[in-house]
Amino acid sequence: MSVTRQNIAGTSPYEPIIGFSRAVRIGNSIHVSGTGPVGADNEDAAGQTRKTLEIIQAALEKAGATMTDVVRTRMYLTNVEDWEAVGRAHGEFFGTIRPASTMVVVAKLLNPTWRIEIEADAVLPNAQ
């Protein structure tokens, strides 16, 4: 039995240049690429986190999933001082879902105004 691959496009003009998709669904697994707070460059860390998670939520919906299907997130912060604000904003989306999560501090992200980038993985209970 072959499993169908579905590439989910985002709005980044770099997708065809770099060769990536906002998300990829294979069977009942969905993997969301590292996502930054596009359009929220001047927000604080919590606002950037919320915007990033909204973009991830939209990609998941295009793939036939919801935030409740998320089993793992990876958060990349540029300032260690932002960990609590980022964590609380993450909790607004995942407080009852509670996926496995990782939070690490990195030197820089591609856009120097971004304070957060997030990856997510989701698993659907039944592949359609």
Q: Where are the domains of the chain?
A: 5-123
Mean of the pLDDT values across residues 97-104?
A: 98
Q: What average pLDDT does this structure show over 68-93? A: 98
Confidence of residue 127 (pLDDT cuts 50, 70, 90): low
Query: What's the predicted TM-score (pTM) here?
Result: 0.93
Cα angle, residue 104 at apex, residues 82 and 48 outer, rounded to 5°:
40
- Indicate if the pLDDT at residue 117 is higher than 90: yes
Give the pLDDT of residue 126: 76
CA distance 8 to 12: 12
Percent of the chain topping pLDDT 90: 86
The confidence score (pLDDT) of residue 106 equals: 97
Q: How far apart are CA 72 and CA 33, in angstroms?
A: 12
Structure-token match 């990195």, residue found: 106
> Is the predicted pLDDT of residue 94 greater than 80, yes or no?
yes
pLDDT band at 1; cut points 50, 70, 90: low
| Rounded mean pLDDT, 15-28 | 93
The per-residue DSSP string of 84-121 comes to HHHHHHHHHHHTTT--EEEEEE-S--SSTT--EEEEEE
Which CATH code fits 5-123? 3.30.1330.40
